[in-house]
Amino acid sequence: MIRSLAAALFLTTGLSTAIVSPLFAQEAIRSKPTALPVNDATPAPKDVPYPGGTIKLEVDASDTTQRIFRVKETIPVAASGPMTLLMPAWLPGNHAPRGQIEKLTGLTITANGQPVAWKRDPLNVFGFIIDVPQGVREIVAQFQFLSATQPNQGRVVITPKMLNIQWESVSLYPAGYYTRQIPVQATVTYPAGWQAATALRGTKSGNRVAYETIDYEALQDSPVFAGRYFKAVDLGKNVTLNIVADDADELEYKPEQMAKHKKLVDEAGALFGSYHFDHYDFLLALTDEMGGIGLEHHRSSENQVEPGYFKKWESGEALLDRNLLPHEFTHSWDGKFRRPDLLWTPDFRTPMQDNLLWVYEGQTQFWGYVLGARSGMFTKQETLDAYAQIAAKLDTNVGRQWRPMEDTTHDPIISARRPKGWASWQRSEDYYNEGLMIWLEADAIISKATRGTKGLDDFAKAFFGVKPGDWGQLVYNRQEVIDTLNGIAPYDWAGFFRTYVDSPTKETPKGGFILGGYNLVYGDEPNAITKAAEGANKMVDQSFGLGAIVKNDGEISAVIWDSAAFKAGLVIGAKIVAVNGDEFSSDVWKAAIKAKQPIQIILKQDKYYRTLSLDYSGGLRYPRLEKTGEGEGSLDRLLKPRT
């Protein structure tokens, strides 16, 4: 007992020494500062009128060579003392802090002609702190916004033929007020001979347009497209399609093409039962020079498609662009008028919470394809092909095994759309298309429960169609979505969302297909949408089969996690130089896959070569929807025109 007790004491002492003594040793050599309080000097926004009065904003957008916006902003002030001017950071529709503060340069601030010193807020680099001198009634801020001259600097917004003004890039606003309480009168100088379109209304004098005074929130929500080659088309219902193009002949269209755009407006009105704008302006750029965009606004939208939108209407490449306008138009109801309560913010400094983007973007994606079919922008078969492509792609996103779909709503903040090496395992912004699949199943559930008398159309009218003409924001939470659905067709909607939104899953929801009268099947020929995507991107997409997307030059652009390609050692960015002893080509690659035998590959990764064997015998695999049973199903009814 004595020896045991001594041993125990020795072990205890040794253990204590092992844990504690290093900490005591560190105490002697390690300084330990104490945290200082963090003092945020920026005032919280208040829902009261800005006391200074109307801001005068002057933008010179005439420099199409060096692509520099020059700004003069006269800001009236009601009192002297500390003031913070903010550049918008958290941008609606971006769902993240995407303000381009790095491009704001040359900032000078004066009062009565005398310089006023500014200091950047270290807690918010989008903020500039000044001290307004006694007796001053207005301050003048002047700066330049250095828009991108090359794509590697950001999105190109000025070319020799067109430009895009986004007001958050060319303005500052006073902190401490809801942005809807800050009046602004903007004037823009455009290149000579150009025409401009925006949801704003104004008066033109020469190359200058003085826009009507509007609040800063609505100003930010009213971007401008302007161009040398311009055409405006009345679509009815106070909706205008404003087109700018790289070349004049791109503006020409056939009457039957424009009829589909007019029907889009009519079908949206029939769906939602009301319009939430006094007027609406599609801003459509047909260009491969200005940067790509698809961004929603309440009374307008920014849209870029490739040249050939009208000229190549029947081609596969143009087909891929035709979902953009239905999607962005839907946002006027879903996302701009009805907005998640934690995504709406009183200013552009307050962080957004994206948790309900599966409604905001997911149901918009759903209605975008439905309205595309109902208006004739897509045929019914093209829409079914798109659904098959979407579902099959989502099933390759095996990251669903660990990452719930709801968590992908934070991806605009987490990754900011930066390229991903293993996107199928990391997941990306799946709330768009997985949201579509969830709402497709919801429509089928409602249709089954009501014997085909109701569908998600009824939800759209009840949820989005309220308060006709209101172009403010009406916020909601998840429970209101559930309550509205239960008002249409009682069901365990809370459990439905817990399963598909909040939990990891094995595959994308397919109840919309199965209950709607279709099955997702695979064959060795691509459907129209998959074929168009392969053609547009110059690639062979076998993500659904062996698990890789390979460009026509052999470069690997995607590898699906844990697929045959993954297990063989393929990696994004590497290049296949030979297949079964033959030089790589897309035809050789497809023939090797179609042979349903292991494939011998020579792979070049960086400056190294490897020989590997890809053990796969499933052949070419492309998705399509196959009709089950007889008669009309809920999916067929969903896609039928309403006007």
State pLDDT tens for residues 349-391: 999 999 999 999 999 999 999 999 999 999 999 999 999 999 9
Name the nearest CA neighbour of 78 among 55, 51, 47: 51
> Residue 86 and residue 347: Cα distance in Å, rounded?
10
> Residue 80 and residue 296: Cα distance in Å, rounded?
38
Name the nearest CA neighbour of 172 among 73, 285, 91, 56: 73
Q: Residue 95 is encoded by which pair of tokens? A: 């769902």
The per-type count for the chain, helices as H runs and strands as E runs, is 19, 34
Q: What is the pTM of this model?
A: 0.94
Residue 452, strand partner residues: none
pLDDT for 629 equals 82
pLDDT for 20 equals 54
Domains of the chain: 41-227 (2.60.40.3650), 356-507 (1.10.390), 528-623 (2.30.42.10)
pLDDT for 16 equals 44
Judging by beta carbons within 10 Å of its beta carbon (0-12, 13-18, 19+), is residue 18 exposed, middle or buried?
A: exposed
pLDDT for 41 equals 81
Q: Residue 173 is encoded by which pair of tokens? A: 């606003």
Q: Which residues of the chain have pLDDT under 50?
A: 1-18
SS3 253: coil
Q: Residue 195 is encoded by which pair of tokens? A: 């025409």
SS3 523: strand
- DSSP 3-state helix, strand, coil percentages of the chain (rounded to 5)? 35, 25, 40
* Cα separations in angstroms, 210 against 67, 196, 200, 203, 262: 21, 12, 10, 5, 30
> Residue 596 and residue 620: Cα distance in Å, rounded?
8
SS3 463: helix
Full strand arrangement of the beta sheet holding 195-198: 162-165, 224-227, 195-198
